[in-house]
């Protein structure tokens, strides 16, 4: 597979996440914006972000955003709920291109979807600990009830490709049962890894609960922003940079998300 050559294509949409989860955002961007070039960086050397401090997540996010900017990115999509919660508020005002996270679009979609006013959120420890989803949802409607639960075991299981494994289903049941017992009618998948478990989550939750996919809603927001005048797409291309090799990366991308990868290379970030 050829390596990435930034001079050969138009300015890309830069996308990053701590690992493979952000590819769910890439897949939705490809569906919403089929002619755009995308440059994705998966920080596989430092995954996961969910248990790290706000200072560390912000530093990682700055290092990656600077790299994407140096590669000509016309906008930066933070395809990580943890980084969206902890880093985007600080970094976005300082960058010369638009920076959009997955959190605000997901919160807005949850507010629109709920019928009973009871919303559940699952995410990493850092995302849930920041209370970013609860604050974003209640800023839109203070009357809504939000139950948020950290699910630290899910990202490692997903990174191992154990989507349909009985261990994964048991862990999901353990996390979801408490909020299901509280009568939620909407569940926010507050980590971009989690859409890869959507089938298992829907089996546990049933058809009566609306699943809010942060990846899908982020792509809708990016599409709206580009439609407002930041476009200039000339042809589809997906270039991927990793900070460390990942055996399951291509298999998950190509099979689970139906993505065609044009180039793949390993790039060091930070010290």
* Helices 166-180 & 198-205 angle (0-180, nearest 10): 50
Q: What is the mean pLDDT of residues 148-160?
A: 91
Quick check: helix, strand or coil at residue 152? coil
Quick check: helix, strand or coil at residue 11? coil
Print burial letters for 18-54: b (CB count within 10 Å at least 16), e (below 16): bbbbbbbbbbbbbebbeebbbbbbbbbbbbbbbebee
Q: What is the mean pLDDT of residues 5-21?
A: 81
pLDDT at 250: 66
Would the pLDDT of 148 be above 90? yes
Q: CA-based angle 73:77:83, to the nearest 5?
A: 125
Print burial letters for 131-155: b (CB count within 10 Å at least 16), e (below 16): ebbbebbbeeeeebbbbbbbbbebb
Which of these, 154, 193, 152, lies nearest to 51 by C-alpha position? 152
pLDDT at 255: 78
Cα–Cα distance list, 203 to 36, 53, 196, 200 (Å): 34, 33, 13, 5
Sheet with 145-150, side-by-side order of all strands: 145-150, 118-123, 186-189, 210-213
Beta bridge partners of 37: 237
Q: What is the mean pLDDT of residues 83-100?
A: 95
State the catalytic residue, choosing from 151, 191, 205, 218. 191
Max mean pLDDT among 72-86, 153-167, 245-259 falls in: 72-86
21 confidence band (pLDDT: 50, 70, 90): confident
Model pLDDT for residues 253-268, shown as the tens digit of each residue: 777 888 988 998 999 8
State the catalytic residue, choosing from 80, 151, 205, 218. 80
- Location of structure tokens 């989690």: 194
Residues of the chain with CATH 3.40.50.1860: 6-101+216-266, 103-214
**What count of other Cβ atoms lies within 10 Å of the Cβ of residue 108?**
17
Q: What is the mean pLDDT of residues 71-82?
A: 95
151 belongs to the catalytic site: no
228 confidence band (pLDDT: 50, 70, 90): low
Q: What is the mean pLDDT of residues 125-153?
A: 96
Would the pLDDT of 13 be above 90? yes
160 Cα distance to chain centroid: 17
218 belongs to the catalytic site: no
Would the pLDDT of 80 be above 90? yes
Q: State what percent of residues in the chain have pLDDT above 90.
A: 73
115 confidence band (pLDDT: 50, 70, 90): very high
Would the pLDDT of 249 be above 70? no
Of the options 3.40.50.1860, 3.40.50.300, 3.40.50.1360, 3.10.20.30, the CATH number for the domain spanning 103-214 = 3.40.50.1860
Please list, in sequence order, all residues whose beta carbon lies within 8 angstroms of the beta carbon of residue 97, skipping any fewer than 6 positions away: 69, 73, 74, 75, 76
Which of these, 103, 121, 96, 145, lies nearest to 211 by C-alpha position? 121
Q: What is the CATH number of domain 6-101+216-266?
A: 3.40.50.1860
Whether the Cβ atoms of residue 127 and residue 149 lie closer than 8 Å to each other: no
* 75-78 vs 99-101, strand pairing mode: parallel
Would the pLDDT of 271 be above 70? no
pLDDT at 185: 98
Model pLDDT for residues 60-70, shown as the tens digit of each residue: 999 999 999 99
Phi/psi at 238 (5° precision): -125, 110
Q: What is the mean pLDDT of residues 194-210?
A: 94
């Amino acid at each position: 597979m050829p390596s990435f050559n930034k001079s050969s294509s138009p300015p890309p949409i830069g996308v990053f996440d701590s690992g493979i989860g952000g590819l769910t955002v890439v897949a939705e961007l490809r569906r919403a914006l089929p002619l755009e070039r995308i440059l994705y960086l998966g920080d596989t050397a430092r995954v996961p972000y969910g248990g790290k401090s706000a200072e560390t997540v912000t530093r990682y996010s700055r290092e990656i955003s600077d790299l994407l900017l140096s590669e000509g990115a016309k906008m930066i999509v933070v395809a990580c709920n943890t980084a969206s919660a902890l880093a985007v508020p600080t970094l976005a005002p300082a960058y010369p291109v638009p920076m959009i996270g997955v959190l605000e679009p997901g919160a807005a979609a949850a507010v629109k979807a709920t019928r009973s006013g009871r919303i559940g959120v699952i995410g990493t420890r850092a995302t849930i600990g920041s209370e970013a989803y609860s604050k974003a949802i209640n800023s839109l409607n203070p009357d809504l009830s939000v139950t948020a639960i950290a699910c630290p075991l899910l990202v490692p299981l997903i990174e191992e490709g154990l989507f349909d494994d009985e261990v994964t289903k048991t862990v999901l049941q353990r996390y979801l049962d408490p909020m299901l017992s509280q009568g939620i009618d909407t569940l926010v998948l507050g980590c971009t890894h989690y859409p890869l478990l959507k089938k298992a989550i829907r089996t546990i939750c049933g058809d009566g609960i609306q699943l809010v996919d942060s990846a899908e809603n982020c792509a809708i927001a990016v599409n709206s922003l580009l439609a407002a005048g930041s476009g200039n797409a000339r042809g589809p291309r997906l270039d991927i940079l990793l900070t460390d090799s990942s055996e399951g990366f291509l298999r998950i991308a190509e099979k689970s998300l139906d993505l065609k990868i044009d180039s793949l290379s390993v790039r060091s970030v930070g010290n």
